[in-house]
């Protein structure tokens, strides 16, 4: 009996360490995403974003908040969580204002240096690839972090 209790205690400790590692990985990923980005490209359900409008877009990622600006006015705001252990990495955004308030969007992301790729599905279908082809109902965006 003592042996079984010892094994259970060890297994519990292993699970706690694994949970701590996962939390550390999430915290690290959230910190790496922080910054201010300009939009490079968008494609939504097969439609490329208007070049003039894209130039006006800015994304600020700070303190678990995701805020998109158009001409320095808030356009969209959300809280978000990530799972960097998934392949591709996942992101869940929940709108915090306007018509998107309370709406959850499931997506994937890839951060390579200062380049951020993001592909968002909807609350039922997480994107699996980085594209916004016609018929997919996905929104694909490419952002470039500004040097601060």
25-80 per-position pLDDT tens digit: 899 999 999 999 999 999 999 999 999 999 999 999 999 999 999 999 999 999 99
89-136 per-position pLDDT tens digit: 999 999 999 888 999 999 999 999 999 999 998 778 898 899 999 988
- pLDDT for the residue numbered 137: 87
* Cis peptide, bond prior to residue 88, ω within 30 of zero: yes
The C-alpha atoms of residue 131 and residue 128 are separated, in whole angstroms, by: 9
Domains held by the chain: number: 1
Closest alpha carbon to 3 in 16, 13, 11, 17: 11
Closest alpha carbon to 105 in 129, 86, 122, 91: 122
* pTM, two decimal places: 0.83
CATH number of the domain that residue 101 is part of: 2.40.128
| DSSP secondary structure letter of residue 113 | T
The C-alpha atoms of residue 47 and residue 38 are separated, in whole angstroms, by: 19
- Domain around 130: 2-145
Are residues 82 and 61 in contact, defined by beta-carbon separation less than 8 angstroms? no
On the CB side of 49, how many CA atoms lie within 13 Å of its CA?
Answer: 20
């Amino acid at each position: 009996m003592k042996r079984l209790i010892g094994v259970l205690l060890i297994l519990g400790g292993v699970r706690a360490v694994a949970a701590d590692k996962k939390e550390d990985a999430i915290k690290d990923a959230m910190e790496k995403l922080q910054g201010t980005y300009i939009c490079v490209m968008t494609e939504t359900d097969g439609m490329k974003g208007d070049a003039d409008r894209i130039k006006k877009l800015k994304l600020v990622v700070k303190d678990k908040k995701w805020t998109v600006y158009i001409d320095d006015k808030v356009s969209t705001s959300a809280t978000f969580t990530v799972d960097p252990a998934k392949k591709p990495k996942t992101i869940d955004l929940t709108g915090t204002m306007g018509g998107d308030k309370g709406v959850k969007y499931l997506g994937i992301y890839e951060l390579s240096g200062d380049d951020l790729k993001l592909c968002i599905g909807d609350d039922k279908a997480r994107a699996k690839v980085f594209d916004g082809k016609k018929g997919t109902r996905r929104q694909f965006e490419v952002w470039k972090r500004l040097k601060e």
